[in-house]
């Protein structure tokens, strides 16, 4: 429970403190892109000479480079910008979504080298087929990535409930999977000895929106994302809410309507039964299996003023607000980010969900919360998987970078 503000830690010399300094600086540069030495002094509390030493180590490891900043018409030599060296550390990000597979390579600083998304019909795919397809895509993407020997991590986002400790997918109703050791199977198929870190896609969507999307700088955050089901990810005090085993954030299965219908999870009246795609399509008179094309049709109808579409959206908006009011009362967040389906329908549901948050939330909390659409779109979980895969490197830049490179090149 001891919280050491890292600014206070960074003035001292020793091997450990040197690592902490390296970590702090790499994080700043990874999150923020190019920063001047003066920026780094201000953000970390390190001395100028301390910054200089750390940057020299990081340049030596190939993780950052220094660049002359453009002159801003101010007298004196401009402070050089420290830039991430994207090719110096690369992660592989994979995603198993409801109706697509995706793979990307992302460099330090967040540069996406390559990203491939392949649609596949919704339905039950075998684990073997999915793993093989992902490994094939990964080979393709890695071959097109310049610095492929600098692989430092692999992250996987999946539409399912994941045990963090070993990457086992406990349950993925959209795929019909139970207790699948996805992390281990992907490590083998990819031929890497690096750990493959697997997590729920909405948890990773929350991480991506927090670091690179609609909620940068927001430390109390709820991300909800809908397609067939409803996923959620929560950030508490700047840290992802993981829970005991990694199952936290499953807001789609809050019991919300005891008089409601049976959910795919086997329960009754879960939030997702009232706000999911199926309910929206049914109420709007579209085929419930119509997928994204049918949702597009609802949005077109709504824009044209078709009452059935507007009514269906209003209904989903109200039930969204009911559940969000509960989350506002439990979590007192600063921002709620709407992703996936909810981001797309945001313009049509913003008013009704706000009404319900204000009606059902405690005023102290509801008056503070802002609801925003996500900005990273469909790729948020994939980009979150990349961020997740960078964590070991960010915690111990030099040690990790060298050992991971050895492991990757030995594969």
Contacts to a copy of itself by CB under 8 A: 1-4, 6, 8-9, 11-12, 14, 16-17, 20, 23-24, 27, 161, 163, 170-171, 220, 232, 234, 236-239, 241-251, 253-259, 265, 267-268, 270, 322-323, 325-327, 329-334, 359-365, 368, 395
In the complex with a copy of itself, which residue's Cβ is closer, 20 or 208?
20
- Continuous segment of H or E residues that includes residue 302: helix 291-303
Q: How far is the CB of 117 from a copy of itself (least distance, A)?
A: 28
Q: How far is the CB of 158 from a copy of itself (least distance, A)?
A: 14
In the complex with a copy of itself, which residue's Cβ is closer, 257 or 403?
257
User: Mapping DSSP to helix (H, G, I), strand (E, B) and coil, where does residue 113 land?
Assistant: strand
What region, left, alpha or beta, does residue 330 occupy, with left being phi > 0 and alpha being psi -120 to 50 degrees? alpha
In the complex with a copy of itself, which residue's Cβ is closer, 157 or 309?
157
In the complex with a copy of itself, which residue's Cβ is closer, 118 or 262?
262
Q: Determine whether 89 is exposed, middle or buried from the number of CB atoms within 10 Å of its CB (0-12, 13-18, 19+).
A: buried
Q: How far is the CB of 162 from a copy of itself (least distance, A)?
A: 9
Nearest C-alpha neighbor of 191 from the set 127, 138, 116: 138
Nearest C-alpha neighbor of 58 from the set 96, 26, 90: 26
- Partners of 196 in the beta sheet? 154
Query: How many CA atoms are closer than 13 Å to the CA of 144, on its beta-carbon side?
Result: 14
In the complex with a copy of itself, which residue's Cβ is closer, 58 or 137?
58
Q: Are 63 and 89 in contact (CB under 8 A)?
A: yes
How, if at all, do strands 112-119 and 35-36 pair?
A: unpaired
Q: How far is the CB of 170 from a copy of itself (least distance, A)?
A: 4
Q: How far is the CB of 336 from a copy of itself (least distance, A)?
A: 12
Tell me the residue length of the chain: 411
- Continuous segment of H or E residues that includes residue 59: helix 48-60
In the complex with a copy of itself, which residue's Cβ is closer, 171 or 407?
171
Q: How far is the CB of 191 from a copy of itself (least distance, A)?
A: 30
User: Mapping DSSP to helix (H, G, I), strand (E, B) and coil, where does residue 3 land?
Assistant: coil
Q: How far is the CB of 253 from a copy of itself (least distance, A)?
A: 5
In the complex with a copy of itself, which residue's Cβ is closer, 92 or 168?
168
């Amino acid at each position: 429970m001891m919280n050491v503000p890292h600014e206070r830690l960074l003035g001292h010399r020793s091997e450990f403190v040197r690592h902490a300094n390296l970590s702090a600086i790499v994080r700043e540069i990874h999150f923020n892109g190019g920063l001047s030495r003066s920026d780094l002094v201000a953000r970390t509390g390190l001395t100028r000479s301390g910054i200089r030493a750390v940057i020299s180590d990081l340049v030596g490891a190939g993780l950052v480079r220094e660049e002359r900043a453009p002159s801003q018409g101010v007298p004196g030599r401009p402070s050089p910008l420290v830039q991430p060296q994207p090719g110096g550390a690369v992660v592989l990000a994979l995603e198993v979504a409801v109706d697509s597979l995706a793979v990307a390579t992302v460099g330090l600083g967040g540069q996406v080298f390559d990203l491939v998304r392949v649609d596949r019909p919704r339905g039950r795919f075998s684990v073997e087929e999915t793993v093989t397809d992902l490994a094939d895509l990964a080979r393709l993407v890695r071959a097109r990535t310049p610095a492929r020997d600098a692989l430092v991590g692999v992250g996987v986002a999946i539409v399912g409930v994941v045990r963090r400790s070993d990457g086992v997918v406990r349950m993925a109703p959209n795929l019909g999977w139970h207790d699948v050791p996805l992390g281990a199977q992907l490590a083998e198929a990819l031929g890497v000895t690096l750990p493959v870190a697997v997590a729920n896609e909405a948890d990773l969507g929350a991480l991506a929106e927090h670091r690179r999307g609609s909620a940068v700088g927001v430390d109390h955050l709820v991300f909800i994302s809908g397609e067939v089901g409803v996923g959620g990810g929560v950030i508490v005090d700047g840290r992802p809410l993981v829970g005991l085993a990694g199952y936290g954030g499953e807001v789609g299965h809050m019991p919300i309507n005891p008089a409601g219908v049976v959910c795919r999870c086997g329960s009754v009246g879960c939030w997702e039964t009232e706000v999911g795609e199926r309910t929206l399509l049914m109420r709007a008179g579209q085929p419930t299996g119509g997928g994204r094309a049918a949702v597009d049709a609802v949005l077109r109808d709504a824009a044209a003023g078709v009452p059935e579409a507007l009514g269906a959206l209003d209904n989903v908006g109200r039930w969204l607000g009911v559940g969000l009011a509960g989350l506002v009362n439990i979590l007192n967040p600063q921002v709620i980010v709407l992703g996936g389906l909810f981001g797309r329908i945001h313009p049509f549901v913003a008013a009704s969900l706000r009404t319900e948050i204000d009606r059902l939330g405690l005023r102290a909390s509801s008056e503070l919360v802002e609801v925003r659409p996500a900005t990273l779109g469909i790729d948020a979980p994939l980009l979150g998987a990349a961020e997740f895969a960078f964590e070991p490197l960010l915690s111990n830049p030099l040690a990790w970078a060298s050992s991971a490179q050895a492991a990757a090149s030995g594969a």
